[in-house]
Amino acid sequence: MSTDNPADDARLSPASVDEPTFQNGRADGAADEDAPPVPNSKSSPSAVQPKVEIEDLDFWYDNGDTHALQGISMDIAPHQVTALIGPSGCGKSTLLRCVNRMNELIENTVLEGGIHVDGQDIYAEDTDPVMVRRRVGMVFQEPNPFPKTIYKNVAWGAEVNGYTGDMDALVERSLRQAALWDEVKDQLHSSAYNLSGGQQQRLCIARTLAVHPDVVLMDEPASALDPIATSKVEETITELKQDYTIVIVTHNMQQASRISDETAFLYMGRLVEMNPTDELFTRPEKDRTEAYVTGRFG
């Protein structure tokens, strides 16, 4: 999550994140094969600047022995849900963790290529990784609330950042955004461990939202939940895209087709295909995608 190392600065207003200038318009026409190359897509009124641009990304574990990602390039659109699918070990979690520099916390890893968020190179020497992780928050597979009250779980990131605003309002707003407020508003000061698994996961979403990220990464956020809790989390995700850009890893094809706008299929560290979700599931471009989405392998 974004607040794991909140060592610095008072960064709790979205306005504190400067709107960077667009530096690296894609010239490869990845989003539209028929369109001519656009050197700077911001100059075109119809073009939507990607929120996240991943460019020719390679990633290795074990001092180069495990080549987990190979030549990945993709644009992630703002205010959409993008799903990452693919068989176990294909690199989904690795890719997600590259987008908020969480992989750096693992020893003996090497990254090549680039990732830009709002045009800003998040791996530039002068980019603070703590800032990146605040701006690009993360929700994990297993709900992992702290052994604290519901209120303190949500307030924690803000507190350690020295937030001086109205904490009650921040907690309420974050819990409302995570669709949990109505269920917990009368027990804010009881332990988060008293909540069900699905409620705990929405609490973790609220905790991530409380530090105002732009992008929220979710690594199989519903895989440990029952169907009712899963559908609550899915509803929450669908509502969140109005305010955030969401990237979600899921093994559940129905879930990907229910909640995502675009889907990327990864296989053995490579991006095989990325397309609007309904197209990828009904008219996949690549045979390997078709084999995977129809359950013929994986």
Ligand X SMILES: Nc1ncnc2c1ncn2[C@@H]1O[C@H](COP(=O)(O)OP(=O)(O)OP(=O)(O)O)[C@@H](O)[C@H]1O
Question: Least distance to ligand X from the beta carbon of 58, Å?
Answer: 12
User: If you search the block for the tokens 């890719």, which residue do you land on?
Assistant: 95
Question: Least distance to ligand X from the beta carbon of 122, Å?
Answer: 19
Cα separation, 148 vs 146, in Å, equals 5
Q: Which listed option, ligand X, Mg ion, none, makes contact with residue 242 (CB within 5 to 8 Å by class)?
A: none
Residues contributing to the site for ligand X (CB under 6 A): 61-62, 66, 68, 86, 88-94, 106
List the one residue out of 74, 209, 204 whose CA is nearest residue 135.
209
Q: What values do phi and psi take at 86, rounded to 5?
A: 150, 160
Question: Least distance to ligand X from the beta carbon of 257, Å?
Answer: 18
In the complex with ligand X, which residue's Cβ is closer, 84 or 246? 84
In the complex with ligand X, which residue's Cβ is closer, 90 or 211? 90
List the one residue out of 128, 216, 232 whose CA is nearest residue 179.
232
Question: Least distance to ligand X from the beta carbon of 233, Å?
Answer: 18
Stretch in the footprint of Mg ion (CB under 5 A) among 76-84, 92-100, 261-269, 286-294: 92-100
Q: Which listed option, ligand X, Mg ion, none, makes contact with residue 89 (CB within 5 to 8 Å by class)?
A: ligand X
In the complex with ligand X, which residue's Cβ is closer, 103 or 277? 103
In the complex with ligand X, which residue's Cβ is closer, 3 or 109? 109
Q: Which listed option, Mg ion, ligand X, none, makes contact with residue 255 (CB within 5 to 8 Å by class)?
A: none
Among 3, 93, 161, 177, contact with Mg ion (rule: CB under 5 A): 93
Question: Least distance to ligand X from the beta carbon of 275, Å?
Answer: 19
Cβ-closest position to Mg ion = 93
Q: Which listed option, ligand X, Mg ion, none, makes contact with residue 137 (CB within 5 to 8 Å by class)?
A: none
The verdict on 94 binding Mg ion (CB under 5 A) reads no
In the complex with ligand X, which residue's Cβ is closer, 49 or 93? 93
CB of 267 closer than 8 Å to CB of 88: no
In the complex with ligand X, which residue's Cβ is closer, 25 or 91? 91
Contact footprint for Mg ion (CB under 5 A): 93
